Structure 1
Amino acid sequence: MVSTYNEWDPLEEVIVGSAKNYVSHDRELSFDVFFHENLFRSDWAYPRLQQATGKPIDQRAWQIASRYTEELAEDVEQLAQTISSFGVRVHRPIELPADPEPIAGFGWQAPPIPALNLRDNTLIVGSEIIETPPAIRSRYLETRLLAKLYAEFFEEGATWTTMPRPVLTDMSFDLSYARDTETSLGGPTEVIEEPHAGPYDVGVEMILDGAQALRLGRDIIVNVANENHRKGYEWLRRHLEPKHRVHMVYRMSDNHIDSMILALRPGVFLARHDGIRDLMPERFKNWKYIVPPPPDAASFPCYDDGDLVLTSPYIDLNVLSLSPDHVLVNQDCIGLIRTLEGEGFGVTPVQHRHRRLFGGGFHCFTLDTVRRGGLVDYTE
């Protein structure tokens, strides 16, 4: 039965995503808003991306080179095999078919992508599966590729909840974070185009990814960077309290928290930089913060102007804990591996070449459903 309260208890069951038929990115407003901060080349934002909202789907597609998609699929399958080799039961989503029909909402259409970054659209707290309100239109039906598994878990006793689904018109999005970074990044950042009003608008909506939440037993920390997130945080707080304490941190990142900070065991965080301590709730500032050396540029493939880079070089902090003493880490991230080994962790290196093109690491690609252990207050 589904049961997982934190990021480190011994892993017994997990869902590993699918990369099958991930062939392009849909360049439209919701995609641009979500990835705005990370549309960079080197240290300089680049204005070469042509805005495409309102154009037909086939004209909006940013094609991904086939060798990258093939190598991604190889790496994901290797990840699943590696996790299974530790005796963990591995579940898989339904594979996205080739050339799927577009999905649609009121006033928009989008091509679906596979259920790869599973952590984004689902948050599991204890025995409850919570489907979160998606931020990107092409991912609106992504959890339907997981619905068969969720139905099985429900029959086994899990609670299955869906947060309110957004309409995702242009006017649904709070653009304040993107607007702020347009002036603060210091480079020729591409401006987010103006949203268009329509008959289905309901105002700024609840939008929140599961990867914005850090589960620490009774405490759950949620990163909030805009009004969409604040509404989602407020729903989670009302829904989960008083059994859980739900804390808000403000603008630790543009959205996801799991390449900024992850908990490796009680009292120990893996963090991008020590300044993250100052953003955390008071009760967690006295935990140990392990800060690895900055990413080595040589550990990433070289891409050209036909390749859309979606994440920062810190994506490799996105590790997966198999237990409080053992983690899976990208084999190319030598500095991180040595740091964790120096702190007494067992490390299994796993290949993941194109993490910057597909927006996720090992924590993103997996959704733990069973970890041995119960609900604990780690601040007592």
Structure 2
Amino acid sequence: MQLNSYDEWSTLKEVIVGSAVNYTSHERELSFDLFFHDNLIRTEWYYPRLRASGPAGGSSSSPIKQRYVEELREDIEGIVSALESLSVTVHRPLDVHETTSQVTTPAWSAAVVPPLNVRDNTLILGDEIIETAPMIRSRYFETQFLTPVFNEYFRQGARWSVMPRPLMTDASFDLSYARTGTAGGPMEPVEDPQPSPYDVGFEMMFDGAQCLRLGRDVVVNISTENHAMACDWLERHLEGRFRIHRVHRLSDSHIDSMVLALGPGKLLVRSPEVVDQLPAPLQKWDAIVPPPPEGNNFPEYDDGDLILTSPFIDLNVLSVTPDTVLVNEACPELIRTLENHRFTVVPVRHRHRRLFGGGFHCFTLDTVREGGPEDYLE
């Protein structure tokens, strides 16, 4: 089918589901710590910040227990099976080959991670694939693993654009959010960026998961100058086709565990305070606020296991139709809330979402939905 995805809720026909093959570790370096800033500080300095060492800055590897990876892979296959049982065509990215261990640019080198959270580095708007400017060095070429799928949509008529790629030296990052934000707990100082011969100042960096798609309207979360520059590019690129609405510092980056649109006039939100920060037309929509998640909804981990998301990660649901939603089976409070609002809930297992930084919405990239460029905010 031809690429067509304008919103988050209309009937889903085709989707890409990510891969966790050969996931071995998280590489702690400046871009990683900034990306997960809100959650790496939630345990009051439990995960110490890196200390710069040399021109490329500091880095360290945080190994992931392979039993977690194997269980994650089992759960991903469960997501695929659930979608296929709902008559959704599922595409998969290329797996990372075991011999592919590093990505290297003129400015830095980083370990490669698999294309798991495929929502992040691509934004689908209507009939266009937009590869966004990466925010984490280890994911710099992640969209390459989606090339076979993108090629096929291009052959069928899709537009295909690539946002300018940043040089991504330490000086490329706007550190103001990390230095002044208050989400999550006490602020640990962020070290000064290390100089590089490739420094050009702030550059655009941006993820598709910072966007809430509503037909012709796109709500975009902006927390840094990097995001703002990328949003400027989007506005110019999409002029006359889509309207961009900026919200500021709703989170450090992604918006889809803060607010998701489940249908015209229906929002799933973390708290009423989130609604207050949305564009005025969205504040008139019905806001579904589930109870806070219970601690026993999550596995217990060892002290050395790196937690990358807040307990609200399970708000990261995936709509299959305007009244059917994939929800983590470990979240009875959320399931009851959605059922009370007359949604059909499809419970699916997803155990280690806090270790791998994503829920169902993050792990998927919807490429074909039945909806079109409607005006939902008029």
Pair 1:325-2:326 in alignment: no
After the TM superposition, list the runs of 4 or more consecutive aligned residues in structure 1 that deviate by more than 6 angstroms. Answer: 55-59
Pair 1:142-2:142 in alignment: yes
| 2:93 match | 93
Give the CA deviation at 1:241.
2.1
Pair 1:83-2:83 in alignment: yes
**Mapped partners of 2:251, 2:85: distance in 1:** 34
Tell me the secondary structure at the aligned position of residue 247 of structure 1: strand
Deviates more, 1:298-307 or 1:258-267: 298-307
Q: Which amino acid aligns with 1:168?
A: M
Tell me the secondary structure at the aligned position of residue 209 of structure 2: helix
Tell me the secondary structure at the aligned position of residue 223 of structure 1: strand
| 2:38 match | 37
**Mapped partners of 2:180, 2:57: distance in 1:** 29
Give the CA deviation at 1:7.
0.2
Q: Which runs of 5+ in 1 are unaligned?
A: none
1:345 to 343, 346, 360: 343
The structure-2 alpha-carbon separation of the partners of 1:83 and 1:156, relative to structure 1 and needing over 3 Å to count, comes to: same
1:294 to 292, 296, 310: 292
Pair 1:180-2:180 in alignment: yes
Taking only the aligned residue pairs, the percentage that are identical comes to 56
Tell me the secondary structure at the aligned position of residue 113 of structure 2: coil
The structure-2 alpha-carbon separation of the partners of 1:54 and 1:95, relative to structure 1 and needing over 3 Å to count, comes to: farther
TM-score under structure 1 length normalisation? 0.95
Pair 1:3-2:4 in alignment: yes
Give the CA deviation at 1:378.
1.1
The structure-2 alpha-carbon separation of the partners of 1:49 and 1:65, relative to structure 1 and needing over 3 Å to count, comes to: farther
Q: Given that residues 204 and 228 in structure 1 are in contact (C-alpha distance below 8 angstroms), is that contact kept between their aligned partners in structure 2?
A: yes
Q: Given that residues 57 and 110 in structure 1 are in contact (C-alpha distance below 8 angstroms), is that contact kept between their aligned partners in structure 2?
A: no
Q: Given that residues 172 and 204 in structure 1 are in contact (C-alpha distance below 8 angstroms), is that contact kept between their aligned partners in structure 2?
A: yes
- After superposition, the C-alpha distances for 1:258-299 in whole angstroms (9 at most, x for unaligned) are 000000000000000011111111121100110000010111
| 1:218 match | 216
Q: Given that residues 316 and 329 in structure 1 are in contact (C-alpha distance below 8 angstroms), is that contact kept between their aligned partners in structure 2?
A: yes
| 2:304 match | 306
Give the CA deviation at 1:58.
12
Give the CA deviation at 1:59.
7.2
Give the CA deviation at 1:379.
2.5
**Mapped partners of 1:330, 1:7: distance in 2:** 18
Q: Given that residues 33 and 49 in structure 2 are in contact (C-alpha distance below 8 angstroms), is that contact kept between their aligned partners in structure 1?
A: no
Give the CA deviation at 1:168.
0.4
Deviates more, 1:97-106 or 1:291-300: 97-106
Give the CA deviation at 1:53.
6.1
Q: Which amino acid aligns with 1:115?
A: P
The structure-2 alpha-carbon separation of the partners of 1:196 and 1:274, relative to structure 1 and needing over 3 Å to count, comes to: same
| 2:109 match | 109
| 1:122 match | 122
**Mapped partners of 1:15, 1:85: distance in 2:** 15
Q: Which amino acid aligns with 2:102?
A: P
Give the CA deviation at 1:106.
2.0
Give the CA deviation at 1:107.
2.1
| 2:23 match | 22
Q: Which runs of 5+ in 2 are unaligned?
A: none
Give the CA deviation at 1:36.
1.5
**Mapped partners of 1:334, 1:214: distance in 2:** 25
Pair 1:170-2:170 in alignment: yes
Give the CA deviation at 1:32.
1.0
TM-score under structure 2 length normalisation? 0.96
Q: Given that residues 262 and 319 in structure 2 are in contact (C-alpha distance below 8 angstroms), is that contact kept between their aligned partners in structure 1?
A: yes
Q: Given that residues 57 and 170 in structure 2 are in contact (C-alpha distance below 8 angstroms), is that contact kept between their aligned partners in structure 1?
A: no
Q: Given that residues 26 and 57 in structure 1 are in contact (C-alpha distance below 8 angstroms), is that contact kept between their aligned partners in structure 2?
A: no
- After superposition, the C-alpha distances for 1:323-349 in whole angstroms (9 at most, x for unaligned) are 000000000011000000000000000
Q: Given that residues 7 and 371 in structure 2 are in contact (C-alpha distance below 8 angstroms), is that contact kept between their aligned partners in structure 1?
A: no
The structure-2 alpha-carbon separation of the partners of 1:276 and 1:59, relative to structure 1 and needing over 3 Å to count, comes to: closer
Give the CA deviation at 1:141.
0.5
- After superposition, the C-alpha distances for 1:30-67 in whole angstroms (9 at most, x for unaligned) are 1111111111465x342546547659999721100111
| 2:257 match | 259
Give the CA deviation at 1:185.
5.2
Equivalenced residues, count: 377
| 2:364 match | 366
Q: Which amino acid aligns with 2:341?
A: E
| 1:247 match | 245
- After superposition, the C-alpha distances for 1:99-154 in whole angstroms (9 at most, x for unaligned) are 41311112210111111100000000000000000000000000000011111110
**Mapped partners of 1:184, 1:353: distance in 2:** 25
Deviates more, 1:213-222 or 1:277-286: 277-286
| 1:335 match | 333
Q: Given that residues 214 and 262 in structure 1 are in contact (C-alpha distance below 8 angstroms), is that contact kept between their aligned partners in structure 2?
A: yes
